[in-house]
Amino acid sequence: MMKKLMMSLVALAMLSTAASAKTMEKAPKENVNAKTTTYRLPKTNTLVKVTEEIKESQGKLTRCVFVLSFYDYDTAQLVGTHTSETYTNGGCGSFFKACRAFWGV
């Protein structure tokens, strides 16, 4: 069981690293700033990867994208996603805080 758990965590870490590397690769071209964190939901067999992405436009508006990716804890397979986005005149902090509060992450 412990070995299976470690393998799942390693697989998830690899997925997160690959996703972060891909995001960072795009950052210079699209002027994107992304932050990704992973949580295990209490009393469930689910891991949640939270990505907060800020895309600056050439105008005055900033695009804020909040993505939740749900993974089976044992198999590290993606089981669902949810995306919320908005445009703001300033930063994305308040939007991300509201999304985290709504989803409990």
The DSSP H or E segment spanning 29 is helix 2-30
Q: What is the DSSP letter of 43?
A: T
What mean pLDDT is predicted for residues 41-62?
Answer: 84
Share of the chain above pLDDT 70, in %: 69
Q: How many CB atoms lie within 10 A of CB 91?
A: 11
pLDDT attached to residue 58: 65
Between 62 and 42, whose confidence is greater?
Answer: 62
- How far apart are the C-alpha atoms of 74 and 83, rounded to whole Å? 24
Q: What is the 3-state secondary structure (H, E, C) of 44-101?
A: CCEEEEEEEEEEECCCCCEEEEEEEEEEECCCCCEEEEEEEEEEECCCCHHHHHHHHH
- Of the ranges 8-12, 34-38, 48-52, 59-63, which one carries the lowest mean pLDDT score? 8-12
